[in-house]
Amino acid sequence: MKQKLDSYMEKILDSYYENNAKKLHNVVNQIFYRKYGGIAERDMDEFYSVGNDVFTDIIKHNRYDKSKGDFDGFLYGALSLAIVDEFKKQNRDKRATKIELLDENGNKVFDENGKPKRISVSDVYMNAPIGDSENSTIGDMIQSDFNIDTILFEDIGGFQDERIEKFLSNLPIIQRKILEMKMEDISVSEIKEKLKLSDKQYNQHCKELKSFANISILFKKENSDYELEEENQMQLTQTMEKSKPDRLSIASIIKKIDKHTIRFDHPLQRESEQWTPSMKGNLISDILQGNPIPSLVFAEQVVNGIAIIWDLDGKQRCTNAYSFSKDVYKITKNIRRWLIEYQAPVVDDNGDTVFDDNNFPVYEKREFDIRGKKFSELPEELQDKFNDYNFEIVQYLNCSGEDIAYHIARYNEGKPMTASQKGITRLGEEYAGMVKSISNMPFFKDMGGYNVSEFKNGTINRVVVESVMAANFLEDWRKKQEDMCEYIKNNATSAVFDDFEDMVERLEKVVTDEMSDMFNSKDSFLWFGLFARFVKSETDDKKYIEFMTEFTQSLHSKYVDGCSFDDILSESKSTKDKGIVTKKMCHLEKLMNEYLRIEECDSENCDSIELFITEVLDIDEKITQEDIDLYNESLDVLLQDTVKFDSKLRDKANRFSLLTMMAYSYKEDVDLDEWMEHYAKENSIYILNQKENFLHMKDDFEKFINKKSKKSA
């Protein structure tokens, strides 16, 4: 075979088969693990054999055409098809539906071990015809907008088609076991015990079960899984243009995702599910308001004569809009604008539309609070507005694999030059945008001691990132900017940036010209971080500037615990080491509290909700910031749904005990909704000591549950 090849193909052949076909095996591994997760190593030999057959067939029959893209991309597409086919073939018998055997009287038949006998039956496919009809199928008789929780957590074994087969085969072993146990009505506590899962691990697995990658399989059209069906074949774009603008409604995008004609799984593209609940909620809010959203960027690539549309930029916008349309998540409380205006027809007492003298429907303006709502819970008018929203599209045409890689890098990495610019790319699109928005606030441009070049080289962005870190995550301080950005991306929420923006606005109103220069590129993070601690005292903001003034005059040399701030400065030349930063902040806070006579909390753990929950609930597992974010968000939704706005329960003083109750609910897997509504009505006075307050709440909850159980019995 080799002597018939040109030099280009000889090099390709050598590269894929040197070192015992290492490169070919790596491509097979990449495709397999991306689609199906793990498999026993001994079973991979069969898929390596498939890879070898595909490669040999391409070379032997001269199937590769250089004009249709690079060889690596061509081979990747061909191998993907072959591996999917082989996997389906191997798993078809394993996936066969089994039912319990019944005797002629309808009673179960048991084996010698006393277990019900089960027999395999043929799968019922969604496209199977009904009766003698050629046009009606079983799929036509089933409602298309089925509830995702019902599909995932109730019995899906009554029928099975390729979507469910693919969905199950995509799941990691743990998630598949969770689903199987759920289908058998095993309780959550038993599932966690049998699989040795913590509350957080269990909740994370359930969340991933409903990820875009999984639910898009369930809703995807039957014939769209890499099949060359006529409706999914796209004609090649015969044009000399490199790109073209377009518009696409969300309803159209949802259809194309269901039909798999827009692809989000390019090997070089980052994964979905990157956004926080607040980011998702703000996206939906902007769509319902009709606000402009940055354009989506697609690229057309020809593979095996078929034009595939890859998403290059806008994956999070598309997938989160898609997931919302399928009722996968509720809109969180922490969004910028939640009261949405819309027009609706006026109806009379009988529910009939009211018409004017010209026989036109009469409309009225209404408002709707979208917080805590799923798509199906929106008014019909807002559902229509969501589906009709048009994204601007930029589409690159006739792209090679090299073009795709170039554009993905261009849109997702930018063109960083300085260390600060490189670091901010690690924040992700949403947070980087928030940082740049804050950097453009008047405080930094008009009041701080920054020079013009620092706005151009990304230094101000670094100042904001460091300040957010010092204000919220000092214990996890990172010296390197890129590590700091990576940490914030994984642990912060949009609310963190909103709170920091509020602090900057407060300082704008009180900072004097004399103190303005103290907010420079070197020390700003200290003064912002200290101000974040100051605001907890609820003291007049002007007092903070008074402290800063006194610090410059005398307090910098004042001794606290045998050391002055000047001494700390002389200890180390590095100003960004975690040890020196922590020491500076601790010293400044002590100086400030003493000067302003701010009383420190009696409890050593008063500022650490993590430690408070750990000690009160006697939890061995470490409570993380991610856990606290989950408790805060869940509590806000719970209060929104069950407690009046003027209730004393909402007071800031009760927050620690309420968050501990939320942690307790996750730990014990109990629901607080009914009790919370009852407790708010029955209690108007609360205990100041938060531990005692929590214990009183917990005791009341247990009594409430016991009383409810007795009534139901």
Question: Whole domain around residue 300: which residue ranges?
Answer: 230-411
Q: What is the side-by-side order of every strand in the sheet holding 262-263?
A: 243-249, 390-399, 296-303, 306-313, 262-263
Q: pTM of the full predicted structure?
A: 0.36
CA 216 to chain centre: 16
In a domain, 291, yes or no: yes
Locate tokens 């085969």: which residue? 169
Point out the domain boundary residue: 59, 91, 123. Answer: 91
Q: Tell me: do 304 and 440 sit in the same domain.
A: no
pLDDT at residue 221 in the model: 58
pLDDT at residue 90 in the model: 61
Per residue in 421-435, is it b (16+ CB within 10 Å) or e — as a string?
bbbbbbbbbbbbebb
Q: What is the mean pLDDT of residues 395-409?
A: 74
Which carries the bigger pLDDT value, residue 316 or residue 73? 316
In a domain, 224, yes or no: no
Q: How many domains, the chain?
A: 4
In a domain, 567, yes or no: yes
Residue 226 bridge partners (DSSP): none
Pick from 465, 521, 527, 519: which is nearest to 497 by CA? 465
CA distances from 19 to 10, 22, 480, 525 (A): 16, 6, 39, 52
Residue 349 has pLDDT above 80, yes or no: yes
Torsion angle in degrees (nearest 10) through CA of 75, 79, 81, 83: -170
pLDDT at residue 282 in the model: 93
In a domain, 163, yes or no: no
SS3 110: strand
Question: Which of 78-82, 182-186, 350-354, 574-578 holds the top average pLDDT?
Answer: 350-354
pLDDT digits (tens, 9 = 90+) for 87-138: 666 654 444 445 556 666 667 777 776 767 665 444 444 344 434 333 334 3
Q: What is the mean pLDDT of residues 299-315?
A: 79
In a domain, 402, yes or no: yes
Of 86-95, 255-264, 293-302, 470-479, the least confident: 86-95
Which carries the bigger pLDDT value, residue 598 or residue 623? 623
Q: What residues contact residue 66 under an 8 Å CB cut-off, 6+ apart?
A: 8
SS3 399: strand
Structure confidence at residue 288 as a pLDDT band (50, 70, 90): very high
Of 34-43, 348-357, 434-443, the least confident: 34-43
Q: Tell me: do 429 and 525 sit in the same domain.
A: yes
Residue 223 has pLDDT above 50, yes or no: no
Point out the domain boundary residue: 411, 428, 463. Answer: 411
Structure confidence at residue 420 as a pLDDT band (50, 70, 90): low
Q: Tell me: do 492 and 514 sit in the same domain.
A: yes
Structure confidence at residue 620 as a pLDDT band (50, 70, 90): confident
Q: Tell me: do 407 and 503 sit in the same domain.
A: no
Residue 544 has pLDDT above 90, yes or no: yes
pLDDT digits (tens, 9 = 90+) for 3-33: 456 777 888 888 888 888 888 888 887 776 5
Pick from 169, 192, 197, 196: which is nearest to 182 by CA? 192
Q: Tell me: do 565 and 617 sit in the same domain.
A: no
Q: What percentage of the chain reaches a pLDDT higher than 90?
A: 15
* β-strands 390-399, 296-303 pairing: parallel
Q: Tell me: do 393 and 468 sit in the same domain.
A: no
Residue 227 has pLDDT above 80, yes or no: no
Q: Tell me: do 368 and 400 sit in the same domain.
A: yes
Q: What is the mean pLDDT of residues 388-409?
A: 80
Which amino acid, residue 462? R
Q: Tell me: do 514 and 572 sit in the same domain.
A: yes
Residue 707 has pLDDT above 50, yes or no: yes
In a domain, 142, yes or no: no
DSSP label at residue 130 = P
For the chain, the average pLDDT equals 76
Of 75-79, 335-339, 368-372, 464-468, the least confident: 75-79
Cβ-based burial of 268 (10 A; exposed 0-12, middle 13-18, buried ≥19): middle
Residue 385 has pLDDT above 90, yes or no: yes
Pick from 281, 397, 399: which is nearest to 637 by CA? 281
Which carries the bigger pLDDT value, residue 293 or residue 424? 293
Q: Tell me: do 470 and 332 sit in the same domain.
A: no
Point out the domain boundary residue: 25, 57, 91. Answer: 91
Q: Tell me: do 575 and 555 sit in the same domain.
A: yes
Q: Tell me: do 572 and 670 sit in the same domain.
A: no
In this structure, the chain runs to a length of: 713
d(CA 713, CA 705): 12
d(CA 217, CA 213): 7
In a domain, 164, yes or no: no
Of 111-120, 140-149, 300-309, 579-588, the least confident: 140-149
pLDDT at residue 291 in the model: 92
Structure confidence at residue 149 as a pLDDT band (50, 70, 90): low
pLDDT at residue 235 in the model: 42
Q: Tell me: do 584 and 567 sit in the same domain.
A: yes
In a domain, 159, yes or no: no
Q: What is the mean pLDDT of residues 374-393?
A: 92
Structure confidence at residue 685 as a pLDDT band (50, 70, 90): low
Task: Work out the end-to-end distance of the chain between its first and last CA atoms, rounded to an integer number of angstroms.
Answer: 79
